[in-house]
Amino acid sequence: MLSVLERIVNETREAVEARKDTAPLAELERRAHARTERNDFVAALNRPGVGLMAEIKRGSPSKGLFAPDLVPADQARTYCEIGAVAVSVLTAPAFFATDNDLCDAVTVLQGSGLPVLRKEFHVDPYQVAEAAALGADAYLLIAKTLDAAQLTELATTGEQYGLTAFVEVTDGVEAEMALEAGATAIGINNRNLHTFEEDLGTTERLRHTIPSSIPVVAASGVRSREDMRRMEACGVSAVLIGEALSTAADPHAKARELLGR
């Protein structure tokens, strides 16, 4: 039986093939190259201190819909106010999201200087063109869903649009794959993508295997100031926070708590 991750990837591939018939690659490329504003994702992560990458997240495959009333435009505005160094926007249907969420966030953040990450199951170069056309500055690549050749191809595809590939890893083999693919920004996911169990020790174990010259973001499982301290002690450049901010009654207060301000 297929795992949840395998099922999502298969459904994504089918959906991408269908979209190619309605939105030709040439049209996406035209829109992508017409975009004049691109924000430097890597530079944002390399700012002094440990930054907050804030995520617009309504739900997840493992927990279902937990923020049904979330308004992406309002959430993006809030993230700008709380001092996030970058904004991650989920667009995958498995996370109760669509590309409209990304468009809304990009519109609100225009002129802010905040880079936007399209968090999607990117498995085809066509999707990288989509990310660029939609106004993203970076796009997620999940190493576990790709082989080495696919990862390298997708990581380099973004260069023609001025986008950064943000490669997510969960173990040492994937971290090595990311480095060999030329990744310039790496995320360490503390969530097991098959069991969905979370372990902050994943970042603690893997951070030292990645050169300090490459910004590393710790993702998943960070909900408290104590969790943040553990990640800060690893030497990460930023921490990705989605659920904790998306479900907080007061995101401003939650951000201050997490950052110790």
Split at pLDDT 50, 70, 90, the class of 248 is very high
Average per-residue pLDDT for the chain: 95
41 assigned to some structural domain: no
CA torsion sign for 239, 245, 246, 251 is negative
pLDDT tens digit sequence for 49-105? 999 999 999 998 888 899 999 999 999 999 999 999 999 999 998 888 889 999 999
Q: Flag whether 112 is in a domain.
A: yes
CATH number at residue 58: 3.20.20.70
- Name the pTM for this structure: 0.96
**Which residue range(s) make up the domain with 78?**
4-34+51-259
- Model confidence at 158: pLDDT above 80: yes
- pLDDT of residue 2 exceeding 80, the answer is no
Q: Is residue 109 part of a domain?
A: yes
46 in a structural domain = no
Q: How far apart are the two ends of the chain, measured CA to CA in Å?
A: 47
Q: Each residue of 115-142: pLDDT tens digit?
A: 999 999 999 999 999 999 999 999 999 9
Q: What number is the average pLDDT over the span 27-39?
A: 95
Q: Residue 231 burial (CB < 10 Å; 0-12/13-18/19+)?
A: buried
